[in-house]
């Protein structure tokens, strides 16, 4: 069995969108600094490109999480595999994610990080699959809304492969 990857969003479209997001964020946070919190591993590619397009001071930190317990439970507890290195108390935080699917990860993380005394918490995601939502969650900054389909590339994987594709593609098994 082999896999074919069909391009859904090109490298040029992604670059252009990240520039736009960076400009919007820079305007929204004028006179402030931002702590970007990337969710490993998938969001790291998007986060680096986004950080370069933001013109206010930026701090970067990362977390690694995985789904925990009963996946059908809508509470959606996630396990922290790697926590932040630095305190976010008093910081304006933007959580950076590759894709929002059920919404469980981010609804849990935004509440958890809010409990640590951040001044503000917003979410930026490269992709959003709103049709798949189990928990009500809306990102503050979103690159592309896509249908209910499994995508790879630009940090996203299928069995840990394809993260390094410079575009976003759909996997077809044939
Ligand atoms: P959720 O919103 O809590 O369901 O989880 C979102 C996470 O699921 C993302 O950070 C990805 O790691 C993973 N994910 C969801 N959809 C896709 C996809 O189409 N391709 C690759 N990873 C995905
Ligand atoms: Mg992820």
Sheet containing 34-40, strands listed edge to edge, beginning at the edge strand earlier in sequence:
78-82, 58-67, 34-40, 92-100, 120-128, 141-145
Say yes or no: CB of residue 128 within 6 Å of ligand 1: no
Partner residues linked to 172 by β-bridges: 4
Taking a 5 Å cut-off on Cβ, the residues next to ion ligand 2 are 42
pLDDT for the residue 137: 95
- What residue ranges define each of the domains in the chain, with the CATH number in brackets? 11-147 (3.40.50.2020)
Q: How many CB atoms lie within 10 A of CB 100?
A: 25
Q: What is the reported pTM? A: 0.95
| Rounded Cα distance, 142 and 62, in Å | 19
Per-residue pLDDT of the chain (174 residues), as tens digits, is 788 999 999 999 999 999 999 999 999 999 999 999 999 999 999 999 999 999 999 999 999 998 765 544 445 678 999 999 999 999 999 999 999 999 999 999 999 999 999 999 999 999 999 999 999 999 999 999 999 999 999 999 999 999 999 999 999 888
Rounded-to-10 torsion of CA 60, 125, 43, 94: 20
103: left (phi over 0), alpha (psi -120 to 50) or beta: left
154: left (phi over 0), alpha (psi -120 to 50) or beta: left
Q: For residue 99, give the H/E element and its range.
A: strand 92-100
How much of the chain, in percent, has pLDDT values that exceed 70? Answer: 95
Ligand 1 mean position to 151 CA, how many Å? 9
Ligand 2 mean position to 64 CA, how many Å? 8
Say yes or no: CB of residue 49 within 6 Å of ligand 1: no
């Amino acid at each position: 069995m082999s896999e074919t990857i069909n391009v859904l969003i090109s490298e040029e479209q992604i670059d252009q969108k990240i520039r736009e997001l960076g400009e919007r964020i820079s305007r929204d946070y004028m006179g402030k600094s931002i702590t970007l919190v990337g969710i490993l591993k998938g969001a790291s590619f998007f986060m680096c490109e986004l950080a370069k397009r933001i013109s206010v001071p930026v701090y970067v930190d990362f977390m690694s999480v995985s789904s925990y317990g009963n996946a059908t439970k809508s509470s959606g507890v996630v396990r922290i595999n790697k926590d932040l290195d630095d305190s976010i108390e008093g910081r304006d935080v933007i959580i950076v994610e590759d894709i929002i699917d059920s919404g469980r990860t981010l609804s849990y993380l935004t509440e958890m990080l809010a409990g640590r005394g951040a001044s503000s918490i917003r979410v930026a995601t490269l992709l959003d699959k709103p049709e798949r939502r189990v928990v009500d969650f809306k990102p503050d900054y979103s690159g592309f809304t896509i249908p209910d389909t499994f995508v790879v590339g630009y940090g996203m994987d299928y069995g840990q492969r394809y993260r390094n594709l410079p575009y976003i593609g759909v996997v077809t098994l044939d």
